[in-house]
Amino acid sequence: MKKIMIAILLFFVAVFFMIQSTFSDVTINKYPDYQSVIEDNATEHGWIPAILPKSAYEIAETHNLDTNEIFGSFKYRQDDEEKLMQDLTIVPDMNQTYTWGNFLFKIDTNAKHAKFRNKPSS
């Protein structure tokens, strides 16, 4: 009887995880370049910050419609670094974190790589 109860429990746990993964509201998008982001209206949806440099490439973003969390990254060319950094404001006491609009950024100027996320809800 104990084995049957364990088997039933495992069955329902497996079904739960299958349903959870099938109906997830998490979406992952990858874009080769700036133009692809524009064509997909990703900045208009608020998934990617509108200050994305025109030289951006290897752009990725993940958004969760249930929790409204957004995470992403992109690489950029040297030509756009000065303009990008001018548009960002450093956040005091946050270990080289920058802000623009509703987004927070971590910028690696050596690798020309940026990570972003939306600001957490209060």
In a domain, 1, yes or no: no
Residue 53 sits in which domain range?
25-118
Residue at 106 is within a domain: yes
Say what the alpha-carbon torsion angle 82, 87, 92, 96 is, to the nearest 10 degrees. -40
Whether residue 12 lies inside any domain: the answer is no
Entry pTM? 0.77
pLDDT exceeds cutoff 90 at 11: no
* pLDDT at residue 24, rounded to an integer: 65
Q: Is 82 within the bounds of a domain?
A: yes
Greater pLDDT, 22 or 116 = 116
Strand partners, 108: 113
| Banded pLDDT at 111 (limits 50, 70, 90) | very high
Please report whether residue 20 resides in a domain: no
Order of strands, edge to edge, in the sheet holding 97-100? Answer: 26-33, 57-64, 69-75, 113-118, 103-108, 97-100, 89-91
* Domain count along the chain: 1
